[in-house]
Structure 1
Amino acid sequence: MTATHRTDASTPAPTSYDTAQQRSDAIWRKISSDPAGLRMLTGDRPTGALHIGHYFGSLRNRVRLQELGVESWVLVADYQVITDRDVVGDIQGSVRELLTDYLAVGIDPERATIFCHSAVPALNQLMLPFLSLVTQPELERNPTVKAELAAAGKSAMGGLLLTYPVHQAADILFCHGNLVPVGKDQLPHIEQTRVVARRFNERFAGGEEYFPEPDALLSESPTILGLDGGSKMSKSLGNTVMLRMSPEETLKKIKKAKTDAERRITFDPEGRPEVSNLLTIAAQATGRTPEDIAAEIGDGGSGTLKIFTAEALNEHLAPIRARRAELEQDPGYLLGVLRAGNERANAVADETLARVREFMGMVY
């Protein structure tokens, strides 16, 4: 099993969740036995510091993959901040916060390339040939793009949001990434990247498999809901526990979390989502099962559950917060990490773009 697949032009690429899950399971087996040849592309939009939903949902898994020997490329997607918002705020400050969280949780700049969109021109230039490989209807029916539009509260879709999946294809393919850790809702983006890679290879590379068709590595982590009972944690809604919060701030946030009136604590994600969410957070922080924690608390009620969760979370995050405090005192180091990553990314992107231009007969 390798992380790239060649799909015959006459055979539609598999798109079902079950097929993606099967491929993901096979990749996990490969990672466990021999991660050689796997190159992971992952990242976030810099909209500020990160929260425990990011940490338990993806950051911790990225560190795990790094430790298992998977080559890691981590994108600070600053250009993508403007895909769905009119006011971008303090981009530099947000990039710094994001980078601080990356390093604090254990992403190692000696083993991972951390870089910014806006600092790698050749990556963004790849969007032009890639856009020629997709149709307007294909872009318009991407469900995650529609979801982003709805979340932004807009009725008209901007051109950058419409082409968001193609920009993501450039993110992944410029470094020949063949592995992208995602949740189920991001599968359409990965499939669009696979289509772009396949069509480029067929149309411009004469059938040579220059770009790999990347696979989704599906997250094994449960979804962390917002503390207000919302569908997910969101900085804009204030329903999060930020990684940078103090233990006191964390306790205050958890104490305000929405629960229910039933005194006995049980793990029932469908019937009791808010209580089950706190149990999930506590379980992620302790390594225990939610059912085990629920049984221990028993008739202790929501108050006991909240204190248990806050204490477990604070204990788990203590070393991360200590490292974060150290990093905040050395902004020069943070800038140096990003500049080194940008330099490495530019070298790879320039080489990729040069080869693309050769394939397209555009070397003058």
Structure 2
Amino acid sequence: HKVPVGRDQVQHIEMARDVAARFNHLFGQGREFFVLPEAQVDEEVATLPGLDGRKMSKSYDNTIPLFEGGSKRLKEAIARIVTDSRAPGEAKDPDANALATLYRAFADEAQTEAFRSALRDGLGWGEAKTRLFDCIDEQIAPLRARYEALMAQPERIEDALQTGAAKARAVAAPLLETLREAVGLRRFRALAHNTEQPQTRAATAVPSVKQYRETDGSFSFKLMDADGRLLLQGGRYSAPRDAGQRIAALKQGASTVPLADEVLGDDVEPTAVLAALALLAQE
């Protein structure tokens, strides 16, 4: 449940966490439908500086291109990183510029310390930028080659996306069905589109449950037959979860759950209500 993000994205993880926690509280009844995500931030590279020393962002147009334009464009971008006017041989503060921070994002601890030490010992800015380019390009070059090969074969990307989508749907569909049941929504039904037998759909029409909010803020529902006639008017509930749970109880125990605050529609027999609930339970 840990999600690796930069410091600026923590707020999005917190929003997702709040939504998940709220859903679990309202509809879970002790069950945790959603695992609460937790932001995991690498403080060493939580926010990377851009070419001008500000936070790297497309909005500031100060990003470093890793793939587009190849090594040439990467080297040109690094050459534009803003530094001070200290000459070669003068000691430089590694924390006062973007070079050391960017270097640390691609190097190990020993390499990073060696680079910082060289700056303190007077390494020139030009040589420092060359070392930064070599460090980044060594890591990115194999990935860039893979990127360019894939971009030249968009059909492979499409195939991978379709395969991934199918896998995701297989995992998500059962959970989505469970969530719909938890909030009292009807299940998805496959609609027959048979132009040769137009009467088939009418013959399979089923009752429906409409859940809604009253003007006083309470929640209720209506059980309608296939023709839109009111069969059963639900009671009033303080939360949509309560109305949904009552609907689910009526569906699952149509012949055993007694009517409580529900009211039969005009000229409606209890047997008609039971038959409608039985049909809904079969969906």
TM-score interval (norm. to shorter): 0.5 to 0.7
Deviations 1:79-126 (A, max 9, x none): xxxxxxxxxxxxxxxxxxxxxxxxxxxxxxxxxxxxxxxxxxxxxxxx
> In structure 2, what is the equivalent of residue 322 of structure 1?
145
Deviations 1:203-222 (A, max 9, x none): 11212112222222222441
> In structure 2, what is the equivalent of residue 251 of structure 1?
75
Q: Is the contact between residue 179 and residue 217 of structure 1 (CA under 8 Å) also seen in structure 2?
A: yes
Map 1:301-316 → 2, pairs under 5 A: 301-316=124-139
Q: Which runs of 4+ in 1 moved over 6 A?
A: none
Q: TM-score, normalised by structure 2?
A: 0.57
262, 269, 283: which one aligns with 2:104: 283
Unaligned runs of 5+ in 2: 187-279
**Residues 266, 254 of structure 1: CA spacing in aligned structure 2 closer, same or farther, 3 A cutoff?**
same
Matched, 1:358 2:181: yes
Question: How many angstroms apart in 1 are the aligned matches of 2:173 and 2:118?
Answer: 57
Amino acid paired to 1:228: D
CA RMSD of superposed structures (Å): 2.3
Deviations 1:259-305 (A, max 9, x none): 00123353442xx1x3xx21222233332454421323532321111
Question: How many angstroms apart in 2 are the aligned matches of 1:260 and 1:219?
Answer: 28
Q: How many residues align?
A: 182
281, 294, 300: which one aligns with 2:116: 294
Q: Is the contact between residue 56 and residue 62 of structure 2 (CA under 8 Å) also seen in structure 1?
A: no
Post-superposition offset of 1:240: 2.0
Deviations 1:108-155 (A, max 9, x none): xxxxxxxxxxxxxxxxxxxxxxxxxxxxxxxxxxxxxxxxxxxxxxxx
Map 1:174-213 → 2, pairs under 5 A: 178-213=1-36
Q: Is the contact between residue 49 and residue 102 of structure 2 (CA under 8 Å) also seen in structure 1?
A: no
Matched, 1:266 2:92: yes
Residue 56 of structure 2 aligns to a residue whose secondary structure is coil
Residue 299 of structure 1 aligns to a residue whose secondary structure is coil
> In structure 1, what is the equivalent of residue 220 of structure 2?
none
Question: How many angstroms apart in 2 are the aligned matches of 1:286 and 1:211?
Answer: 37
Q: Is the contact between residue 265 and residue 294 of structure 1 (CA under 8 Å) also seen in structure 2?
A: no
Unaligned runs of 5+ in 1: 1-177
Relative CO higher for 1 or 2, CA cutoff 8 Å, sep ≥ 6? 1
Q: Is the contact between residue 21 and residue 34 of structure 2 (CA under 8 Å) also seen in structure 1?
A: yes
**Residues 323, 345 of structure 1: CA spacing in aligned structure 2 closer, same or farther, 3 A cutoff?**
same
**Residues 304, 352 of structure 1: CA spacing in aligned structure 2 closer, same or farther, 3 A cutoff?**
same
Map 1:341-352 → 2, pairs under 5 A: 341-352=164-175
Question: How many angstroms apart in 2 are the aligned matches of 1:245 and 1:324?
Answer: 12
Post-superposition offset of 1:232: 1.7
**Residues 251, 192 of structure 1: CA spacing in aligned structure 2 closer, same or farther, 3 A cutoff?**
closer
Q: Is the contact between residue 265 and residue 301 of structure 1 (CA under 8 Å) also seen in structure 2?
A: no
> In structure 1, what is the equivalent of residue 61 of structure 2?
237
Q: Is the contact between residue 228 and residue 239 of structure 1 (CA under 8 Å) also seen in structure 2?
A: no
- Mark the structure with the bigger radius of gyration: 2
Map 1:35-50 → 2, pairs under 5 A: none
Residue 39 of structure 2 aligns to a residue whose secondary structure is strand
Question: How many angstroms apart in 2 are the aligned matches of 1:236 and 1:185?
Answer: 15
Q: Is the contact between residue 106 and residue 135 of structure 2 (CA under 8 Å) also seen in structure 1?
A: yes
The structure that is helix-richer by fraction is 1
Residue 123 of structure 2 aligns to a residue whose secondary structure is helix
Question: How many angstroms apart in 2 are the aligned matches of 1:206 and 1:216?
Answer: 26
Amino acid paired to 1:294: R
Q: Is the contact between residue 228 and residue 257 of structure 1 (CA under 8 Å) also seen in structure 2?
A: yes
Map 1:109-124 → 2, pairs under 5 A: none
Residue 229 of structure 1 aligns to a residue whose secondary structure is coil
